[in-house]
A and B are shown apart, each in its own frame.
Chain A
């Protein structure tokens, strides 16, 4: 178990994460270039994003709004006056020779987020979240390197946790929690493969009981939660091995190779850059009013963990169901709407987790594109509960709703699928069937109770499956028992 990797060997791991979330704004952080992922090479560029002489940045207000929103959702303080600084370094995909970022006065600071662990909830502190612009993308091809500046200037929010995690699972859980939150807020699409959410991990180990932190190693650009876990596990083992063999940990930046399941050195601290931060003279400080922050606070949606707890408390869902249904905001919204319609949250949850998700997965659709609307699903479940249709019928109707979206009541009407729940009507049929099968009745009464299924089958055949099975069972049991006395 990864949780025990370090403690089994007498060490404690100390882990902190830096998560870069690309903010889903229409235009870039400091100019009006589009941010669409699909654009052709260097199509989303302008004098500002390729750093032509004389070009100047102008702050995108939406990026500020998204940053404040995220900061508030992560429990952060929002700085009333934050400052953009230049982070100076040379690299071909950094068009200006500096990245506009925030340094000593980030927009969000002193926050924290609750995550679930094996031992209940834990609060992971967030030291800061600051705005910055993304760099372009270099593609190395044999003898040459191609640079695409479409990404240059896309707004990022860098969320920096405290060094307060101690296992790979915990770190991955934290990353998932943040991922979930930014998606809930609609500020980041959270696509790790396309790089719209990127994680750098800082790992160090120390002997249990030792207070002084060990030398930390940074693992950069890990693009899945599973890899975060694997990279940390590997790194913890590697660092303990190094220490146990009497050597020292080198402060360095490493990369994770998922194929080999290993981290390897990218650069050591000696090559570390002096970024020469200073306030960007082209940009004014960002001043935020109380009112502005309050308005954003009011607009915050309920966050996944809170929502999950509410689903457990007020809807009576088991924890696992609640967690699954709140993993995505759209899914949770779907559930709530369907449950309100059906009046039966538990059954609604089951339907969503089985039928709906199965169909969505099979067709590669997201919940937002689900052809069966939550209201229709709710109505369908309501009909089952009312005894109007059987569960079996409901599945048939659901299939029909999936392929030809419409109100389930319409389908029930059209196909004459209404269940027979009229007791006297069913009784008549039961009597009829029992009369026709006198010998089977005798056999049943002499102890061959397995024959019950046979009678049920016969009744269903007679009613073309429309008889309410519960009522059939009830009457059948009564009638078959009656003669005994």
Chain B
């Protein structure tokens, strides 16, 4: 049986028909991880208890458990190492948390487990989600399953690569400035960043609290919608979650987009767009047109300020969020011959100097600087003001269109090492994804083509807050009409 092409619902069908057990399914993925992941490096930790969990699910199935009560019954998943998992190491891709074992599950993980999903392991990522290539991980870079010389994207590189290489049926990533959508685009999978406040952040290692959202990476739009349903919804442990009811997005999926107004952002026109990306993007526009959508051009004149605003706000919040990693209660602690003679400041300095990588240190310094008295107004405050304006601009745009269509990044996956020493180019790569987080909007990446060099290319869809259904519908329509639907990398 070819499992790799099955959707979650199809897999559940054969599980319930007892054509395969959850144990066998889990074993299938564990075998693939063991065989293939050494070259891809998508996992940091494999769950030693995965098979035990699978057995428990099999018992549930034999006792008559249904997918009506357990929406992800028997589905093996991988979780980005930003999300706390009770009893299983959670590193955030950092040396700082190399030996950190959380005593609690993040809300997302507990919701997935409660719906019958099986945890295969924890996925590689940029350190503390700071990066766009998964090369800042202390555990080595993630490689792109389509071309092992290329990056998988980031920061949720492990989450995207694992789905692409069939090392998990689905995964969870986090997105602060594009960290789900960009790796999904690089690895040819579907990646959804929900509206800010849709998904609880409780138990997710914080990078930039006002921007972070967790979301699914999956083989197809329907799976992504199903996973989103499972993890979304108010959480009393996270004050920033919305009270809005989640909807049966997967059931309501509808590819009929006739009359839908699709906006193209004027300011996104750039000569920096790679020809292959440009081509796939143009094809997606044509496809939507053919399907009866109305294509409009809209303007987001503040786009150019997105990157500076993002780096000021994200770094400011990060500098504060990462202050807790001080070696006192958990995590890495510098070794001293005579600890009691060490000044507190030196203890902190050495611990944090050793525990954090360069990119993390760079952002902590930048953020600390932005928040300092005397600079606060010029940087953090000014950035917050511009952020509000960017948000207003989107609001205005959504008066005349339902969904925005754009490339995800200017290029397909780039070569490992190509940009790591050039943070500015790396940052600029995020121009299409970043303002979506600043405005708290839902955004997703859906595969729509393959480059001449054999790398997948996706397009980005963005809607007004809480309009996930509309966004998923357009993605669903594109997916059904893609020439490269279901294309998988050849990993062996």
Asked if chains A and B come from one complex, the reply is yes
What 1/0 flags go to A46-68 for Cβ under 8 Å of B? 01001111111111000000000
B305 contacts partner chain A, Cβ-Cβ < 8 Å: no
Q: Is the CB of B239 within 8 A of A98?
A: no
Output the least CB separation between A92 and chain B (Å): 5
In this complex, what residue of B is CB-closest to A86?
Answer: B320
In this complex, what residue of A is CB-closest to B197?
Answer: A284
Per the bound structure, the CA–CA distance linking A152 and B62 in Å amounts to 47
B376 contacts partner chain A, Cβ-Cβ < 8 Å: yes
Per the bound structure, the CA–CA distance linking A284 and B209 in Å amounts to 12
Q: Is the CB of A90 within 8 A of B84?
A: no
A354-396 residues with Cβ-Cβ distance < 8 A to B are none
Q: Is the CB of A143 within 8 A of B340?
A: yes
Answer whether A278 and B380 are a contact pair too, CB < 8 Å, given A54-B84, A56-B238.
Answer: yes
Answer whether A95 and B372 are a contact pair too, CB < 8 Å, given A90-B348, A282-B239.
Answer: no
Output the least CB separation between A24 and chain B (Å): 23
What 1/0 flags go to A86-103 for Cβ under 8 Å of B? 101011100111100000
Q: Is the CB of B205 within 8 A of A53?
A: yes
In this complex, what residue of A is CB-closest to B338?
Answer: A143
Q: Is the CB of B323 within 8 A of A90?
A: yes
Q: Is the CB of A90 within 8 A of B326?
A: yes
B203-227 residues with Cβ-Cβ distance < 8 A to A are 203-206, 208-210
Output the least CB separation between A47 and chain B (Å): 5
Answer whether A281 and B103 are a contact pair too, CB < 8 Å, given A54-B84, A58-B236, A90-B323.
Answer: no
What 1/0 flags go to A31-51 for Cβ under 8 Å of B? 000000000000000010011
Which of A50, A52, A98: most chain B CB closer than 10 A? Answer: A52
**For B203, what are the chain A residues with a Cβ–Cβ distance below 8 Å?**
47, 54-55
Answer whether A57 and B326 are a contact pair too, CB < 8 Å, given A90-B348, A276-B376, A281-B210.
Answer: no
**For B373, what are the chain A residues with a Cβ–Cβ distance below 8 Å?**
274, 276
Output the least CB separation between A139 and chain B (Å): 14
Answer whether A276 and B209 are a contact pair too, CB < 8 Å, given A51-B329, A52-B103, A54-B83.
Answer: no
A292 contacts partner chain B, Cβ-Cβ < 8 Å: no
Q: Is the CB of B372 within 8 A of A276?
A: yes
Count of A-B contacts with CB under 8 A?
102
Answer whether A56 and B201 are a contact pair too, CB < 8 Å, given A276-B373, A278-B316.
Answer: yes
A147 contacts partner chain B, Cβ-Cβ < 8 Å: yes
In this complex, what residue of B is CB-closest to A53?
Answer: B205
In this complex, what residue of B is CB-closest to A31?
Answer: B237
Interface size on B, residues (CB 8 A): 44
**For B344, what are the chain A residues with a Cβ–Cβ distance below 8 Å?**
90-92
Answer whether A97 and B84 are a contact pair too, CB < 8 Å, given A56-B202, A284-B240.
Answer: no
B104 contacts partner chain A, Cβ-Cβ < 8 Å: yes
A144 contacts partner chain B, Cβ-Cβ < 8 Å: yes
In this complex, what residue of A is CB-closest to B212?
Answer: A281
B140 contacts partner chain A, Cβ-Cβ < 8 Å: no
Q: Is the CB of B329 within 8 A of A55?
A: no
Q: Is the CB of B83 within 8 A of A97?
A: no
Other-chain residue from B100, B237, B319, B329 in contact with A95 (beta carbon distance below 8 A) = B329
Q: Is the CB of A98 within 8 A of B330?
A: no
Output the least CB separation between B409 and chain A (Å): 26
What 1/0 flags go to A67-110 for Cβ under 8 Å of B? 00000000000000000001010111001111000000000000
Per the bound structure, the CA–CA distance linking A53 and B318 in Å amounts to 12
Answer whether A144 and B340 are a contact pair too, CB < 8 Å, given A54-B205, A276-B373, A282-B209.
Answer: yes
**For B90, what are the chain A residues with a Cβ–Cβ distance below 8 Å?**
53
Q: Is the CB of A47 within 8 A of B238?
A: no
Output the least CB separation between B170 and chain A (Å): 21
B465 contacts partner chain A, Cβ-Cβ < 8 Å: no
Per the bound structure, the CA–CA distance linking A161 and B35 in Å amounts to 69
Per the bound structure, the CA–CA distance linking A417 and B92 in Å amounts to 82
B328 contacts partner chain A, Cβ-Cβ < 8 Å: yes
Which of B239, B317, B376, B380: most chain A CB closer than 10 A? Answer: B239
Output the least CB separation between A94 and chain B (Å): 9
Per the bound structure, the CA–CA distance linking A169 and B29 in Å amounts to 76
**For B371, what are the chain A residues with a Cβ–Cβ distance below 8 Å?**
88, 276-278
Answer whether A52 and B326 are a contact pair too, CB < 8 Å, given A276-B372, A278-B320.
Answer: no
CB<8 Å pairs between A and B, sample of 5: A50-B329, A52-B330, A53-B97, A56-B201, A56-B202
